[in-house]
Amino acid sequence: MSVASSSSTEGAAPLAPRSARVRLTATWLVAPGLAFLAVFFLYPVASLLFLSVTDPEGGGWSLRSFARIASTDVYLRVLGITFRVAGSTAVLSLLIGYPLAYWIASLSEAVRNRALLFVVVPFWTSYLVKTFAWMLILGRNGVINKLLMGAHVVDGPLPLLQNEFGVMVGMVHSMVPLAVITMLPVLTSIDRRLVSAAQTLGASPSHAFWMVYFKLSLPGVTAAGLLVFISSLGFFIVPAFLGGPQQTMLAQLIITQISELLNWSFAGALAVMMLATALAAFWIYDRVFGMSSISGGASVETDGKLRRVGIEALALLASASEALAAGARAVLGRRVTAGLLPAASWLIIAFLVLPTLLVIPIGFTSSEFLSFPPPGYSVRWFDTYFSSPLWIAATLRSFGVAFATALVSTVIGAAAAIALAGSRTRFGGAIFAFFLAPMIVPRVVIAVGMFYLFARLGLVATNTGLVIGHSVLALPFTVVTVTAILKTYDPRLDQAAATLGANRARTLAYVTVPIIRGGLVAAFLFAFITSFDELTIAIFISGGIATTLPKQMWDDMILQLNPTLAAVSTVVFVVVTALLLVAQRLRRTA
Amino acid sequence: MTPSKLYVDGLCKKYGQVTALEPTQLEVAQGEFLTLLGPSGSGKTTLLQLICGLVEATSGRILIDGQDQSDVPVYRRDIGLVFQHYALFPHLTVAENIGFPLRMRGRPSAEIKTRVAAALDMVHLGHLAGRFPRELSGGQQQRVALARCFVYQPSIILMDEPLGALDKKLRDHMQIEIKRLHRDSGATIVYVTHDQDEALALSDRICLMNHARIEQLGTPQDIYRKPRTAFAADFIGISNIFRGTFRTEGERICLETPQGVFRLPSECAPTGDGGGLVVRPEQLQLGGRPENALAGLVRETVYAGSETRIIVRSAGDQDVTLRLPSHQRAPAMGETVTIGWDSNAAVLVP
Ligand SMILES: Nc1ncnc2c1ncn2[C@@H]1O[C@H](COP(=O)(O)OP(=O)(O)OP(=O)(O)O)[C@@H](O)[C@H]1O
Ligand SMILES: [Mg+2]
């Protein structure tokens, strides 16, 4: 090369400017992602804010929409319901999720990864499929009522649907996996020797658990509570199908305002209320616990009154539960009490996994009805599915859109992750948080804002619009997945490639990408799944012709339940689970 | 000997196929400082965890003051454990960490306060009471761990490589501190270490472990002077071991080795066909007319302040190490020398 011919001064000097240029190009990889999110996420959400304070008729500034919310009983009631349901979902999900997370965290690493699948699969299973399954279980002629009436426990069917019970079952079932997945990193990072240490110092198992382990797990618990609360705020599938009019939630109201009443500014105001609630929850959380605990970082203890009161409270809890544990041991015996945690964990896993599996036998029923167990088995409903032009068109569109979404969001997300991997600055942290934002802002808010933007761009009812919308939602997953892979990537390999004469682009193409390939494919699959069972954006963006599979399911479920839905659900469940298992495997072996 | 404080009776631990501790017998006297010394994986931690009840024995039992501890849970045993990585509670201050065991025992808060203060003074950390563990240096954290263990005056204290993470200078300092704490408290201490010098410096007795068994148990002098196995000889101090087969010469039995034929010490009972003779470097003499002699080439001389270590390559390519006081003139490299020892200075091992 030219090294031999260049003079010695030239040979030494280029080092500094060269490395500066390398860093510059790497940083620029974040630009497409930032621009994409700015245009299709930040701008729509921001314009929603403006919309909400715009007069629908005159066009000037106005707080009329908010005044209307405040003065109308129905809206206030819906707000109250939304809060209550989201709050109780958070509490129940934590209560149910904690024992499971604790048990999983205590397993050896190999077993843990396998047990985790029982949480990850329900986490990624489509809400529509899960909700459909609960309708089959809780309905008047559902599995539970049949069982109870068959055993003559009750005379008539119990009202398990169209009420708060149904909504809570569906919500908690949907949110426990999120709670467990959020808590688990904190729980597994707790040094269990501290619990042993507490016991050698004289702490009973109850005291050691509450005063040491539980205290140290609190950052994970509160982060999980926050995420579940915020996600629950935007729910509409579960209350729409499992609840009655008394359980109408905010997101349903927003959808009605737009798709039936075409009242943009009022829908905007409602969406802003939801966003404000989510942000307020974040703000309070940050005040009380500090944001750092969300990412599973060690919470930084500071001495204060609150901390000491907390320790006293935990000591009381410990004494109470010690008495309880002693009682349980006396009644049940040591051996049985030791088995309680695994038994409870398996019960919770059964609650998470089994209901969804119900759609499979029902999909193969030979009957016209959705009864369980099916009177006989056949593939007639799959025939109906595969010979229906409507369903096939929707299925093909979903596959196509998911594929394009996965491609777009993996390329943009991986580029951003690579750019951010090198940066340890606070700036990099803020950008990373921005990439995660679409996961945290309620989907219905994003969807409304996007619909408003796309209406003006002529992107409604187009595949392009769907791909853009889904890519916004999928980006957080691709960025997180690729970032995780890059953490295990040795940056010295890049330097080695550079010293061997590869420029930045070649290093990327021949060294970085091949090594992180497994992670890239995993990111691709996660994005694919995100798009494949996405409904919220599809409801707004996919108009009459451009319907996707989840949108078609939603329409059918509103119209009438039928066994074809079970066949479709089976296909969706199998496709998503298969892709997920592949993605999990790739992510681990990468 | 004083009556036994801790009695380990046929204790055995298996993890599936792996035997972490073969059935073991061990007696520790009241107020004794016993060190468990051995290579990695020899079962030291397992033995400690069994004693304090953190793991359950596969078979055997533990007696403290003659009482069987099998049904006593960890938190009711009168035992303190100092962990290798301190295991300080990150969410509690130094004072709260030290007060934790007292609190668990339901002591009134006034008493906790005075005893914590006393414990802090004992380890010279009174000024750091309000800090959190992450705000302390390694040595300070270690001292908090010690104070947290001594503050509730357990009659048996177990320490698992407590100084493993500290640098040499701090280790030396902490060794003295631990010795003082032991003397002042009168506690019975079982101490685990990798470091033979630490074991020799601290212990009343050393329990040398290998392959999940006790290899040899005795005072430091015993183990150093009379190692019973080649492993024991090799593990503690520098040893020269000459291996060979027995041969009768007149009425004496000798050992025939590649380096020469050597006489056995007078008090020994050779068994089998052969064995090894252990000779410590300081027992070797340079020149003169010793009972047992061998010739070799000086390969290396290492000056170490108070002494000079000389490495001699003898027949069969075996290196022999000897120590010379530094005032004595050391032979030059490459010089051929004669070295030897008195028969009774050597020890025969199987
Ligand atoms: N929980 C466990 N499960 C399976 N095997 C174990 C377990 N704990 C220890 N072992 C095995 O038991 C043997 C003894 O381990 P132990 O920790 O007692 O060694 P050690 O002497 O303390 O070693 P080190 O000096 O490295 O700390 C080792 O072979 C180890 O692999
Ligand atoms: Mg150990």
What ipTM is given for this predicted complex? 0.78
Q: Is the pLDDT of residue A15 over 80?
A: no
Cis status, amide bond into A373, omega within 30 of 0? yes
Chain B nearest CA to A195, separation (Å): 9
Q: Which residues of A touch B130 (CB under 8 A)?
A: 303
pLDDT recorded at residue A6: 37
Do B245 and B221 lie in one domain? The reply is: no
pLDDT band at A545 (very low <50, low <70, confident <90, very high): low
Do B307 and B191 lie in one domain? The reply is: no
Does the beta carbon of B210 sit less than 6 angstroms from any atom of ligand 1? no
CB contact under 8 A, B87 and A215: no
Mean pLDDT computed over every residue of chain A: 85
Does the beta carbon of B45 sit less than 6 angstroms from any atom of ligand 1? yes
Q: Report the separation in Å between the CA atom of B18 and the middle of ligand 1, taken as the mean of its atom positions.
A: 9
Does B84 lie at the interface with A, CB-CB under 8 angstroms? no
Sheet holding B307-314, edge to edge: B285-286, B336-341, B292-303, B307-314, B319-325
Do B244 and B191 lie in one domain? The reply is: no
- Specify the residue for token string 């802090």: B120
Task: Calculate mean pLDDT across residues A203-230.
Answer: 91
Cα–Cα distance between B343 and A536 in angstroms, integer?
A: 92
Q: Which residues of B touch A201 (CB under 8 A)?
A: 75, 80, 100-101, 104, 148-149, 152
Size of interface A-B (CB pairs under 8 A): 70
Look at residues A501, A499, A533, A521 and name the one whose alpha carbon lies nearest to residue A401.
A533
Chain A nearest CA to B152, separation (Å): 9
pLDDT band at A589 (very low <50, low <70, confident <90, very high): low
pLDDT band at A468 (very low <50, low <70, confident <90, very high): very high
pLDDT recorded at residue B84: 81
Fold matches, A16-60+377-590 and A63-363: yes
If one residue of B12, B15, B22 were mutated to test the ligand 1 pocket, choosing by the most ligand atoms within 8 A of its CB, it would be B15
Q: Is A249 helix (H, G, I), strand (E, B) or coil?
A: coil
Chain B nearest CA to A50, separation (Å): 45
CB contact under 8 A, A202 and B75: yes
Do B48 and B114 lie in one domain? The reply is: yes
B33-37/B188-193 β-pairing: parallel
- Specify the residue for token string 């073991």: B24
The whole-model pTM stands at 0.82
CB contact under 8 A, A196 and B85: no
Does the beta carbon of B42 sit less than 6 angstroms from any atom of ligand 1? yes
Do B298 and B192 lie in one domain? The reply is: no
If one residue of B21, B45, B196 were mutated to test the ligand 1 pocket, choosing by the most ligand atoms within 8 A of its CB, it would be B45
- Domain spans of chain A? 16-60+377-590, 63-363
What are A314-323's pLDDT values in tens digits?
Answer: 999 999 999 9
Task: Calculate mean pLDDT across residues A216-220.
Answer: 89
Do B68 and B199 lie in one domain? The reply is: yes
Q: pLDDT over 70 for what percent of chain A?
A: 91
pLDDT recorded at residue A238: 92
Question: b/e map of B253-287 (b: 16 or more CB within 10 Å)?
Answer: ebbebebbebbbeeebeeeeeebbbbbbbebbbbe
Mean pLDDT lowest among A154-168, B77-91, B325-339 = B325-339
pLDDT recorded at residue A350: 95
Domain membership flag for residue B235: no
Residue of B nearest to A300 (CA): B91
Q: Is B179 helix (H, G, I), strand (E, B) or coil?
A: helix
Q: Is the pLDDT of residue B317 over 60?
A: yes
Does B72 lie at the interface with A, CB-CB under 8 angstroms? no
pLDDT band at B159 (very low <50, low <70, confident <90, very high): very high
Cα–Cα distance between A74 and A82 in angstroms, integer?
A: 12
CATH number at residue B303: 2.40.50.140
Element spanning A128, H or E? helix A127-138
pLDDT band at A354 (very low <50, low <70, confident <90, very high): very high
Q: Which residues of B touch A303 (CB under 8 A)?
A: 93, 130, 132
If one residue of B17, B18, B35 were mutated to test the ligand 1 pocket, choosing by the most ligand atoms within 8 A of its CB, it would be B18
Do B315 and B187 lie in one domain? The reply is: no
B256: containing domain: 240-349
Cα–Cα distance between A59 and B74 in angstroms, integer?
A: 74
What are A107-142's pLDDT values in tens digits?
Answer: 998 899 889 999 999 998 888 899 999 998 998 888
Ligand 1, atom 20: closest residue by C-alpha: B41
pLDDT recorded at residue A292: 55
What are A232-266's pLDDT values in tens digits?
Answer: 998 999 999 998 888 889 899 888 888 787 777 78
Q: Which residues of B touch A199 (CB under 8 A)?
A: 54, 73-75
Does the beta carbon of B114 sit less than 6 angstroms from any atom of ligand 1? no
Q: Report the separation in Å between the CA atom of A259 and the middle of ligand 1, taken as the mean of its atom positions.
A: 65
Ligand 1, atom 24: closest residue by C-alpha: B40
CA distances from B7 to A333, A399, A488, B10, B62 (A): 30, 71, 49, 10, 6
pLDDT band at A5 (very low <50, low <70, confident <90, very high): very low
Q: Which residues of A touch B45 (CB under 8 A)?
A: none
* Domain final position from B230, B250, B281: B230
Q: Which residues of A touch B101 (CB under 8 A)?
A: 201-202
CB contact under 8 A, A200 and B96: no
Q: Is the pLDDT of residue B172 over 60?
A: yes
Strand partners, B246: B255
Chain A nearest CA to B323, separation (Å): 45
If one residue of B42, B56, B58, B214 were mutated to test the ligand 1 pocket, choosing by the most ligand atoms within 8 A of its CB, it would be B42
CATH number at residue B104: 3.40.50.300
- For residues B188 and B31, the answer to whether their CB atoms sit within 8 Å is yes
Do B16 and B159 lie in one domain? The reply is: yes
pLDDT recorded at residue A423: 67
Cα–Cα distance between A112 and B92 in angstroms, integer?
A: 30
- For residues A460 and A454, the answer to whether their CB atoms sit within 8 Å is yes
* Domain final position from B207, B230, B253: B230
Q: Report the separation in Å between the CA atom of A417 and the middle of ligand 2, taken as the mean of its atom positions.
A: 40
Does the beta carbon of B40 sit less than 6 angstroms from any atom of ligand 1? yes
Do B330 and B224 lie in one domain? The reply is: no
Task: Provide the CB-side half-sphere exposure for B216 (13 A, CA).
Answer: 20
Q: Report the separation in Å between the CA atom of A338 and the middle of ligand 2, taken as the mean of its atom positions.
A: 27
Q: Which residues of B touch A194 (CB under 8 A)?
A: 87, 89-90
Judged by its nearest atom, the ligand closest to the C-alpha of residue B194 is 1
Q: Is the pLDDT of residue B34 over 60?
A: yes
* Domain final position from B194, B211, B230: B230
Q: Report the separation in Å between the CA atom of A180 and the middle of ligand 1, taken as the mean of its atom positions.
A: 32
Do B33 and B96 lie in one domain? The reply is: yes
Between A146 and A265, the higher pLDDT residue = A146
* Amino acid at the residue B138: G
Query: Angle CA(B205)–CA(B207)–CA(B213) in degrees, nearest 5?
Result: 165
Does the beta carbon of B43 sit less than 6 angstroms from any atom of ligand 1? yes
B4-15/B292-303 β-pairing: unpaired
Q: Which residues of B touch A212 (CB under 8 A)?
A: 89, 91
Residues 281-320 of A with CB under 8 A from B: 298, 301, 303, 307, 311, 315
pLDDT recorded at residue A426: 67
Look at residues B255, B287, B280 and name the one whose alpha carbon lies nearest to residue B346.
B280
Domain count, chain B: 2
Mean pLDDT lowest among A14-23, A319-328, B31-40, B314-323 = A14-23
Cα–Cα distance between B312 and B297 in angstroms, integer?
A: 5
Chain A nearest CA to B121, separation (Å): 20
Q: Is the pLDDT of residue A7 over 50?
A: no
CB contact under 8 A, B87 and A193: yes
Taking the CA atoms of A148, A154, A155 and A161 in sequence, report the sign of the dihedral they define.
negative
Query: Could you tell me which CATH number the domain at A63-363 has?
Result: 1.10.3720.10
Do B279 and B244 lie in one domain? The reply is: yes
CA distances from B338 to A339, A399, B285, B323 (A): 71, 88, 9, 14
pLDDT recorded at residue A11: 38
Do B245 and B225 lie in one domain? The reply is: no
Q: Is the pLDDT of residue B151 over 70?
A: yes
- For residues B233 and B279, the answer to whether their CB atoms sit within 8 Å is no
CB contact under 8 A, A203 and B148: no
Q: Which CATH architecture has domain A16-60+377-590?
A: Orthogonal Bundle (1.10)
Q: Is the pLDDT of residue A280 over 70?
A: yes
Between A195 and B252, the higher pLDDT residue = A195
Q: Is the pLDDT of residue B166 over 90?
A: no
pLDDT recorded at residue A295: 47
